[in-house]
DNA sequence: AAAATAGTGTCTCTGAGACATTATTGA
DNA sequence: TCAATAATGTCTCAGAGACACTATTTT
């Protein structure tokens, strides 16, 4: 990509979107990182992301980058803005402001594609990723994104975005346990998710094929908040 | 301000900070709006704000704009990032991304100064401001900022930022009542603010001068979260 | 003394957390 | 039949919400 000339009355910035892409893989709370190619921070692990286009809305840019990096479209993925990071020295190339987003989904674990700037992409456990050195200020963004997810599942339906469309309550419980890193009492858990009207809806089906008693299959019931909230102490 | 030439490998943006400046004036939950001068949306009411400088951090720019508009320094003002608004058409001049912030303080009601782009500045009740037509997408930003404050006072110490350094519990209760637009039961209120250790601390002083029994004077105790939270239903 | 405002305690009901057994399936 | 997993109910304690009177000051 070559440089272009621009005029502006005000200081100019490049605007990027960076993505904290979260999922549960084999029961492990996981985040997608890419190894950077190109020039800046080459070889280091970073959050996927890229620059916002001339006529692109921020959330559109985030969806585009998500699809470029994971091959996953927007249907079954929850995407929300996290925060914006704009320290003057955060990118050595030029002044860059990054609007970070959190993406949550399931079934993204298969078709990873290297994006334009990425030479490699890989799922990390969130614990490992938080302990690693990441490019730019991505450690901070990751930390904030993980905390966002951990708090959002308390009182919203975000946990359902970690599940497939059809799921069982034990699966949903394992989502909470993976994200919070602690075990929940099954009876209290079921009481709470079934207390909020329209949070989950029974389908009448059962999920066979496991080793024990079949679990009932549920779908999201449409409620977007969980009241009273799940508690994580 | 004249145009300058810049080069960039990526699409360029101007980055602004806009401020939802909230306070309680005479018991009324209020927000600061400015009437725009200059060219764009001239004469319309808007949130105070301005462009981020070449070497300026986002939060620094927000503090600078706040001081320019209100004459209030950062000591007794709480300032936090709200969200970033970047629709391609949100500013007709050029592509502008606005990083909105919420500012909360007390005693800002006196020394209003018109900022660079503002010909006039005035406190509005939040209700009136929400019902008004504002420039750009500032109605959306205002709505989000107000909702942020309304939810933050549930479980953080944000309500204390609406008070002077020394305050009474009836004053603090009126903060909650003004922001939520509903009355709270005094006995339940006092029970909750005094239950959280180090949320408020008695000074031993009394506030005389009112018409009735003097109220005890408190200061913030240092706790940043309120557990269990205040409830607003 | 009258008016204004601050300060205080109890009861009931809902929800949180702790806890163990039965039910149903595949191997 | 055994191993694995899912499903289910009760008790106790903490906190929420409703509720009214006394205390202290100024005028």
Task: Give me the pLDDT at residue B3, please.
Answer: 75
pLDDT of residue B59: 97
Residue A9 has pLDDT above 90, yes or no: no
pLDDT of A1 reads: 52
Residue B139 is predicted with a pLDDT of 98
In chain A, which residue's Cα lies nearest the Cα of B98?
Answer: A84
A219 touches chain B (CB under 8 A): no
| Whole-number percent of chain B with pLDDT over 70 | 94
As given in the structure block, the two tokens for residue A187 are 């009876």
Residue B11 has its nearest CB partner, among A7, A9, A52, at A52
Question: Can you give the pLDDT at residue B93?
Answer: 87
- Cβ contacts of residue A188 below 8 Å, gap of 6+? none
Average pLDDT estimate for A151-159:
97
CB-based contact B9 A3, cutoff 8 Å: yes
Q: Is A93's pLDDT higher than 90?
A: no
Q: Strand C positions with any atom < 7 Å from protein CB?
A: 3-10, 15-20, 23-27
Query: What pLDDT is attached to residue A204?
Result: 96
Chain A partners of B87 at a C-beta cutoff of 8 Å?
57-58
Q: Worst-scoring range by mean pLDDT, A42-46, A164-168, B34-38, B143-147?
A: B34-38
Percent of chain A with pLDDT over 70: 94
Q: Residue A151 contacts by C-beta under 8 Å, 6 or more apart in sequence?
A: none
Q: Which residue gives the smallest C-alpha to C1' distance to C20?
A: A187
For the segment B88-115, what is each residue's pLDDT rounded down to a tens digit? 999 998 999 999 999 999 988 665 654 4
Question: Nearest Cβ partner of A15 from B7, B83, B86?
Answer: B86
Question: What pLDDT score does B96 carry?
Answer: 97
Residue nearest to nucleotide D14 (CA to C1'): B228
Percent of chain A with pLDDT over 90: 81
* B41-84 pLDDT tens trace: 999 999 999 999 999 999 999 999 999 888 877 778 999 999 99
- B86 interfacial to chain A (CB closer than 8 Å): yes
What DSSP line would sit under B59-123, residue for residue?
HHHHHHHHHHHH---STT-EEEEEEEE--TTS-SSS-EEEEEEEEE-SS-SS-----SSEEEEEE
Residues of chain B neighbouring A82 (CB-CB closer than 8 A): none
CA nearest neighbour of B165 among B190, B131, B200: B200
Domains and CATH numbers, chain B: 14-154 (3.90.79.10), 158-220 (1.10.10.10)
Provide the 10 A C-beta neighbour count for residue B125.
Answer: 15
For an interface test with A, which of B2, B4, B13 has the most A Cβ atoms less than 10 Å from its Cβ?
Answer: B13
Instruction: Write the pLDDT tens digit of every residue in A97-118.
Output: 999 999 999 987 665 655 444 4
Q: Which nucleotides of D are covered by protein (CB under 7 A)?
A: 3-10, 15-20, 23-27
pLDDT one-digit tens code per residue, A173-209: 999 999 999 999 999 999 999 999 999 999 999 998 8
Residue nearest to nucleotide D10 (CA to C1'): A187
Measured distance CA(B190)–CA(B172) in Å, rounded: 10
pLDDT: is A37 or A127 the higher one? A127
Q: What is the DSSP letter of B21?
A: E
Query: Taking all residues of chain A, what is their mean pLDDT, rounded to a whole number?
Result: 92
* Parallel, antiparallel or unpaired: strands A28-36 and A215-220: unpaired
């Amino acid at each position: 990509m070559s440089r272009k000339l621009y005029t502006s009355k005000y200081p100019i910035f490049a605007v990027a979107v960076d993505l904290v892409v979260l999922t549960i893989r084999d029961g492990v709370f996981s985040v997608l990182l890419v190894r950077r190619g190109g020039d800046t921070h080459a070889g280091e692990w970073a959050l996927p992301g890229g620059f916002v286009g001339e006529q692109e809305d921020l959330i559109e840019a985030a969806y585009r980058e998500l699809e470029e990096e994971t091959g996953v479209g927007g249907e079954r993925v929850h995407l929300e803005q996290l925060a914006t990071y704009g320290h003057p020295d955060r990118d050595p190339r030029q002044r860059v402001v990054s609007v970070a987003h959190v993406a949550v989904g399931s079934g993204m674990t298969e078709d990873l594609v290297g994006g334009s700037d990425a030479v490699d992409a890989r799922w990390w456990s969130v614990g490992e990723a938080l302990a690693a050195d990441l490019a730019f200020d991505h450690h901070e963004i990751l930390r904030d994104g993980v905390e966002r997810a951990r708090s959002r599942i308390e009182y919203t339906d975000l946990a359902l975005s970690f599940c497939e469309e059809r799921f069982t309550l034990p699966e949903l419980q394992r989502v909470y346990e993976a994200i919070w890193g602690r075990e929940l009492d099954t009876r209290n858990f079921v009481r709470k998710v079934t207390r909020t009207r329209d949070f989950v809806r029974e389908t009448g089906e059962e999920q066979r094929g496991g080793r024990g008693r079949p679990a009932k299959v549920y779908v999201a019931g449409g409620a977007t908040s969980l009241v009273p909230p799940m508690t994580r102490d």
